[in-house]
Amino acid sequence: MLLPRMAAVAGAAVAGAVVVTAMTAPAHAAPAPTYAYTCDRTFTGNKHRGMGWLNCAAPPEAPRSGPIDGTFLIQSREGSGPKLKCTKRPPDYFPAGHANLPESVTGTYCKPL
């Protein structure tokens, strides 16, 4: 009778170790930025909004107008404002930002780097 009890305790310990390991596994790293927009100035707003303003430029593959999906950067050409990393934020699933080049680019959820 002692052997089945020991097997049950050992099985529970292994199951507990699996649960603890799963709970302490490192989170996935945030995706690398897809595009980097450069504007004369950058600003941060309420609720983690970010904005690049005036003479904005982007690499050829980046959206020039309309919604921006994925993760992207907004950086200041003049170094006067923060460099921002912008991304979608669940559960909202709004676009990560909006481009209106060359006037501006905005980010829905941005954090200073």
H helices of the chain, in order, are: 2-24
At 13-43, the pLDDT tens digits run: 444 444 443 444 445 556 788 889 999 999 9
CA distance linking residue 76 with residue 73, whole number of Å: 10
Can you give the residue range of the structural domain that contains 96? 35-112
pTM (two decimals): 0.70
- Does any domain span residue 29? no
CA distance linking residue 57 with residue 77, whole number of Å: 10
- Does any domain span residue 70? yes
At 6-15, the pLDDT tens digits run: 444 444 444 4
CA distance linking residue 84 with residue 39, whole number of Å: 12
Q: Which residues lie across from 38 on neighbouring strands?
A: 57, 75
At 57-103, the pLDDT tens digits run: 999 999 999 999 889 999 999 887 999 999 987 776 788 999 999 99
- Does any domain span residue 21? no
Sort residue 47 into left (φ over 0), alpha (ψ -120 to 50) or beta: left
- Does any domain span residue 75? yes
